[in-house]
Amino acid sequence: MTPAAFEVFATLLKSRSGLAIGPDKLYLLETRLAPLLRAHNIVDLEALALALRGGGNAMLAAAVVEAMTTNETFFFRDDKPFVHFRGQVLPQLAASRPPGAGLRFWSAAASTGQEAYSLAMIAAEGQALLGGRRVEIVGTDIAREPLARARAGLYTQFEVQRGVPMTALVKHFRKEQEGWRIAEPLRAMVSFREWNLLADLRPLGQFDTIFCRNVLIYFDQPTKSRVLEAIAERLAPDGVLYLGGAETILGLTERLVAAPGGHGVYRRANAAAPLSTAVPSAAAVSLGAIASAMKAINASAATPTDSRPVSSLRSGAAGAS
């Protein structure tokens, strides 16, 4: 492939998804775009680049961006953020919000939805703690096909075995011929939208907790800063942001600071008070069954390498996937 052709792909991916690729990633283009070449009867990447030049083929450009994203994700992935969310964030939110006030959580780069539904299971198990508050979970991504799967809420036996505790499987899923479907009460709690993290995030509203894990690692420094600044604006004054274990805010934004009690956990720099690091209350510990099962499952299964570039974007990315 000529340098000019490679630049067509690099520019398209950077502008549409924030994904930064260099010449050393040529193999990714060859591997991930091969099915697209066959589907569109295009002879090679050089010809595909030619078809993309000038921006006249929006559908083809969108297909290229989606093909370059991966959707590796599973339920309760890297369980520590979920343990922290369940044990510290939910009790803090329940204590600080007026009675009856709803809570909103955002799973950015939601991919096929496992992260969003994991949050829904924790919220459902914590209703006694939350006092019956309405919980809204928004999952976003830029890839349409994974989002369609997320909305359907139907997962294979392999997918549920990769992270769903047996107690949660029985309580929150329904067995069907094609697999396991998320039960209606959880599906009613979660909505999915096609959204790009590089787009205006203001229409999404404000969130009490944001999960944007394993997304920033695929961006260059300016894009990381831009996305973090935009996310900080969407975070409630006392809200919490979760990033991936290999991600940081250092040198990228002054609007966020590390929150005590967990790695990869951040809050707004102007927050009135940090999250408490106290031992969770008895009500919070009532969710311990899911946590214990999550730990057992994660300890017995190797976590695959995350290579979810734009899943990242997917704000609609594992983080995400």
Give pLDDT, residue 283: 41
- In angstroms, the CA 310 to CA 141 distance is 8
Residues 93, 197 share a domain? yes
* Claim to verify: residue 30 and residue 142 sit in the same structural domain: no
Is the distance from CB of 222 to CB of 250 less than 8 angstroms? no
Question: CB-hemisphere CA count at 13 Å for 280?
Answer: 22
Write down the residue that tokens 């809570």 correspond to.
Answer: 103
Q: How far apart are CA 151 and CA 141, in angstroms?
A: 12
Whole-model pTM over 0.85: no
Strand partners, 103: 135
* Same domain, residue pair 285 and 202: yes
| Distance between CA atoms of residues 98 and 133, nearest Å | 10
Distance, CA of 189 to CA of 178 (rounded, Å): 23
In the prediction, which pLDDT does 301 show? Answer: 44
Domain that holds residue 136: 80-300
Residues 104 and 142 in one domain: yes
At 221, the amino acid letter reads: Q
Residue 37 lies in a domain: yes
- Answer whether residue 313 is part of any domain: no
Say whether both 121 and 172 belong to one domain: yes
Claim to verify: residue 171 and residue 107 sit in the same structural domain: yes
For the chain, which ranges sit under pLDDT 50? 274, 276-286, 289-290, 293, 296-321
Q: Which candidate, 206, 215, 196, 209, places its Cα nearest to that of 316?
A: 196
Total of domains in the chain: 2
Residue at 162: amino acid letter: R
